[in-house]
């Protein structure tokens, strides 16, 4: 029997209440947001979005817990938990999902049961974002 997995729950990055950040964030581990973020969040660990948090952001993490408002897509490689106070306006790609009664999700949800399905879903998502970015830049330059 394999040894139990011990996770590091030390917080690497925190955006506290009353703090507002504009720009993308790359985090090496556990990240907690209780303020506002206008920019993407790419974490190599857990992500906790507190009840008072307001984000216009695409989020990537291992386990993502949403208690506040997220306007953007979420990729959670292990699991996403949306608390009763959570609001997600965007698409979700994950391996497992738990949504509490009272939460609101407006977007597509893809739950991948194996590595092949996960890899395919993430590749499609990244391809779509790349194409959308190119079209957006084209429209700005020719518009």
Residue 92 CB contacts under 8 Å (≥ 6 apart), including other chains? 73, 74, 76, 80, 105, 107, 108, 109, 110
Distances (CA, A) of 127 to 25, 133, 134: 21, 10, 11
Q: Provide the mean pLDDT of the chain.
A: 87
pLDDT of residue 4: 43
Label residue 127 by pLDDT band (50, 70, 90).
confident
Tens of pLDDT, residue by residue over 79-100, are: 999 999 999 999 999 999 999 9
Percent of the chain whose predicted confidence (pLDDT) is above 70: 82
Whether 23 shows a pLDDT value over 50: the answer reads yes
% of the chain exceeding 90 in pLDDT: 71
Amino acid 142: pLDDT: 67
pLDDT at residue 2 in the model: 40
More confident residue, 142 or 17: 17
Q: Over range 67-74, report the average pLDDT.
A: 96
Task: Report whether pLDDT(76) > 70.
Answer: yes
Compute and round to an integer the Cα radius of gyration of the chain. Answer: 16
What mean pLDDT comes out for the span 22-32? 93
Question: Domain-by-domain residue ranges, the chain?
Answer: 11-111, 114-143
pLDDT over threshold 70, residue 63 = yes
**What is the predicted pLDDT for the residue at 90?**
94
């Amino acid at each position: 029997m394999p040894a139990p997995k011990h996770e590091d729950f030390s917080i690497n990055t925190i955006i506290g209440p009353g703090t507002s950040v504009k720009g993308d964030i790359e985090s090496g581990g556990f990240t907690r947001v209780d303020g506002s973020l206008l920019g993407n969040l790419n974490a190599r660990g857990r992500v906790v979005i507190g009840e008072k948090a307001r984000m216009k952001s695409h989020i990537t993490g291992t386990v993502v817990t949403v208690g506040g408002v997220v306007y953007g897509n979420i990729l959670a490689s292990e699991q996403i938990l949306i608390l009763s106070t959570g609001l997600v306006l965007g698409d979700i790609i994950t391996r497992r999902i738990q949504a509490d009664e009272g939460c609101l999700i407006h977007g597509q949800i893809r739950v991948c049961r194996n590595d092949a399905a996960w890899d395919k879903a993430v590749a499609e998502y990244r391809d779509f974002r790349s194409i959308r970015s190119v079209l957006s830049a084209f429209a700005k330059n020719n518009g």
